[in-house]
């Protein structure tokens, strides 16, 4: 809001919307329409009844829709952030939601607005996550959605097309589903690195060893990153995750091939993209210092929706547990403060260490389902850094609890012992961590059959399950996993998408904020508009300002999410 107020855009937007001009606010773009928000401000849930009369919150909105944007309540067992594919309950004709039907759409947020008697006329759909919250609004030509249509596959693209071309009717509607609640996610992971010839390839390790067991010991090559990401999107993956396992070690912002992979993938993959590898503070050869926030920002500008932090999060957690002080300087804290915790995933790489007695170590131990090689009944999970090569004096349980407090919004839980074995996920580990935290946990390492996915979802509180090798080698198709989950009665996202040509719509936005508006100065063509010096925020304001007709293209806007 600070940016809108400082540039005078708040009044321009109010006037634009009050005049019933075509408008679509996405995620924070919807939340801005309400009176107030408690995000980055006081907890309004502690204030009694009439907030608008007796209390002035930290963040004002545009004040066009009655209501306060508040944080989800995690005390009822629901994980916050609300991340994943959930169902809509259509309240009235919204026009742009005509093709949604009983299908899932993608949400990623920690704050939401609630239905009230005085905002009912605006509400076009709700979603249930503990309570019913406002999923979309519509009044005349003004629309807003809490979910991300640009990340909701075919059904999301149909929403954008209907907004941009309200009189058009597509020849093919998205496949109908049976969405009723938050779905369990199936994620395709691509481990990316340069091979010995210098080519960027997708590889897969066997307990983190990515080289073939041959005389040449070449890096295992399972395909090209952009092509595989596109294929997994077509196959129905709910998310795609890139892990750059060798890049960015010395000069993160100089790893142009990986940034190009993200840019090209984001042009054709309309589900969330996560990227990890080397996100940390560093100093280049010329002595210039770069913060982890700058590195992450480059990832986001290149098309990432979430970033994954590994080793750097371990070091930050160790320091926090030792001092009990949040310095605000760790990569985890910096990035989550600016982009929101829903944008930050912490990747944990633990190794199982068997014990004869739970009192043998100071870390959290469990009684294992299967005894160790010498009959041990207990184990703890030692965290590692540097690709599993170095063990650290911290357990997976302690690390998970610490990073949640430091601002992580999701945990990617690997297991070195299970990696590449195809014998199933480490249920003991996943249950331990998913029961310990209130943020979503992604199960990783060990999938070898469709049954392993239903097992991890029924025996733990994992929100998603990730696999790599079985998808790359076509041993288990993604749709076979989805079909099996349906058979087992586990909510999952339905059919693979049917891509639409990108010239049919505009998708303008950046992490957690998008404003989509028709541009009246581009003849009859729809295209992305980028202003100078503004990054993705510049794309938003460039298009918005042109549609309103207030100023020229030369707009310089901040990309700090906390100022919006």
Secondary structure of 351-373 in HEC code, one letter for each residue: EEEEECCHHHCCCCCEECCCCCC
Q: Exposed, middle or buried, 422 (CB in 10 Å: 0-12/13-18/19+)? A: middle
The pTM score is: 0.83
Structure token digits, residue 364: 């959290």
Query: Quick one: pLDDT at residue 496?
Result: 52
Q: What is the pLDDT of residues 442-469, one digit of tens each?
A: 999 999 999 999 999 999 999 999 999 8
pLDDT at 47: 42
* The pLDDT of residue 196: 54
> How confident is residue 344, by pLDDT bands cut at 50, 70 and 90?
very high
CA-CA distance, 224 to 228, in Å (whole number)? 6
d(CA 463, CA 2): 35
The 10s digit of each residue's pLDDT in 483-536 is: 999 999 999 997 554 444 333 333 333 343 344 443 333 232 333 333 333 333
In this prediction, residue 171 has a pLDDT band, given cuts at 50, 70 and 90, of very low
Question: Does the structure show a pLDDT above 70 at 129?
Answer: yes
Please calculate the CA angle 199-203-206 and round it to the nearest 5 degrees: 145
Question: What pLDDT does residue 552 have?
Answer: 31
Residue 23: CB atoms within 10 A of its CB come to 23
Q: Is the pLDDT of residue 203 over 60?
A: yes
Angstrom distance (rounded) from CA 347 to CA 329: 19
How do residues 384-402 score in pLDDT, each as one tens digit? 998 888 999 999 999 999 9
Least confident of 25-29, 43-47, 341-345, 429-433: 43-47
Provide mean pLDDT across the span 405-429. 96
Residue 465 near residue 417, CB atoms below 8 Å = no
Is the confidence at residue 45, as pLDDT, over 60?
no
C-alpha triplet 312, 563, 319: angle, nearest 5° = 20
Confidence band of 252 (pLDDT split at 50, 70, 90):
low
Provide the 3-class DSSP secondary structure of residue 347.
Answer: strand
Please tell me the distance from the alpha carbon of residue 447 to that of residue 450, in angstroms, as a whole number: 8
pLDDT attached to residue 192: 83
Least confident of 44-53, 92-101, 135-144: 44-53
Mean pLDDT of 322-332: 96
Instruction: Report the pLDDT value the prediction gives residue 523, as an integer from 0 to 100.
Output: 30
**Residues with active-site annotation:** 27, 148, 150, 191, 349
Mean of the per-residue pLDDT values for the chain?
Answer: 82
Q: Tell me how far apart the alpha carbons of residues 110 and 561 are, in angstroms, rounded to a whole number.
A: 14
Banded pLDDT at 194 (limits 50, 70, 90): low
Q: What confidence category does residue 224 fall into, taking pLDDT thresholds of 50, 70 and 90?
A: confident
- With a pLDDT cut of 90, the percent of the chain lying above it is 62
Judged against a pLDDT cut of 60, whether residue 42 lies above it is answered with no
Residues ≥6 apart with Cβ < 8 Å to 201: 192, 193, 194, 195, 219, 221, 222, 223, 224, 225
Residue 430 has pLDDT above 80, yes or no: yes
Is residue 22 over pLDDT 50? Answer: yes
């Amino acid at each position: 809001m600070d940016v809108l107020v400082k540039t005078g855009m708040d009044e321009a937007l109010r006037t634009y919307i009050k005049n019933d001009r075509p408008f679509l606010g996405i995620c924070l773009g919807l939340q801005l329409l309400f009176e107030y928000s408690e995000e980055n401000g006081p907890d309004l849930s502690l204030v009694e009844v009439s907030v608008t009369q007796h209390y002035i919150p930290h963040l004002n909105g545009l004040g066009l829709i009655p209501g306060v944007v508040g944080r989800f309540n995690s005390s009822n067992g629901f994980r916050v952030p609300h991340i994943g594919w959930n169902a809509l309950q259509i309240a009235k004709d919204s026009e742009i939601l005509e093709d949604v039907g009983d299908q899932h759409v993608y949400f990623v947020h920690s704050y939401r607005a609630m239905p009230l008697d005085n905002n009912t006329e605006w509400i076009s759909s709700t979603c249930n996550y503990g309570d019913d919250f406002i999923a979309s609004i519509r009044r005349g030509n003004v629309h807003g959605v809490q979910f991300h249509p640009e990340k909701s596959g075919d059904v999301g693209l149909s929403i954008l097309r209907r907004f941009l071309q309200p009189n058009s009717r597509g020849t093919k509607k998205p496949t109908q589903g049976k969405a009723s609640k938050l779905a369990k996610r199936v994620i395709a992971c691509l481990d990316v690195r340069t091979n010995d010839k210098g080519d960027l390839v997708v590889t897969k390790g066997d307990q983190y060893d990515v080289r073939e067991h041959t005389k040449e010991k070449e890096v295992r090559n399972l395909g090209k990153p952009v092509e595989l990401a596109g294929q997994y999107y077509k196959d129905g993956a709910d998310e795609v995750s890139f892990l750059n396992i060798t890049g960015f070690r010395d000069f993160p912002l100089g790893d142009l091939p990986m940034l190009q992979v993200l840019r090209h993938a984001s042009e054709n993959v309309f589900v969330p993209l996560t990227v990890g590898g080397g996100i940390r503070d560093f100093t280049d050869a010329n002595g210039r210092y770069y913060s982890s926030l700058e590195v992450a920002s480059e990832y986001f500008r290149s098309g990432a929706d979430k970033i994954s932090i590994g080793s750097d999060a371990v070091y930050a957690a160790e320091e926090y547990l030792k001092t009990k002080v949040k310095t605000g300087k760790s990569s985890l804290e910096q990035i989550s403060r600016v982009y929101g915790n829903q944008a930050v995933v912490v990747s944990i790489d633990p190794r199982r260490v068997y014990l004869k007695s739970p009192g043998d170590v100071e870390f959290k131990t469990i009684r294992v389902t299967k005894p160790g090689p010498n009959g041990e009944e207990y184990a703890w999970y030692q965290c590692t850094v540097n690709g599993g090569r170095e063990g650290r004096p911290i357990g997976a349980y302690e690390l998970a609890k610490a990073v949640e407090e430091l601002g992580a919004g999701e945990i990617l839980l690997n297991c070195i012992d299970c990696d590449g074995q195809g014998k199933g996920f480490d249920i003991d580990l996943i249950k331990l961590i998913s029961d310990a935290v209130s943020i979503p946990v992604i199960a990783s390492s060990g999938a070898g059959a469709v049954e392993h996915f239903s097992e991890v979802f029924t025996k733990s509180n994992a929100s998603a399950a990730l696999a790599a090798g079985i998808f790359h080698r076509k041993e288990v198709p993604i749709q076979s996993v989805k079909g099996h989950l349906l058979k087992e009665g586990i909510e999952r996202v339905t059919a693979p998408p049917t891509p639409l040509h990108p010239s049919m719509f505009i998708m303008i936005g950046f992490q957690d904020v998008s404003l989509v508006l028709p541009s009246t100065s581009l003849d009859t063509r729809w295209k992305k508009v980028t202003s100078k010096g503004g990054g993705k925020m510049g794309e938003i304001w460039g298009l918005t300002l042109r549609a309103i007709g207030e100023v020229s293209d030369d707009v310089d806007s901040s990309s700090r999410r906390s100022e919006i």
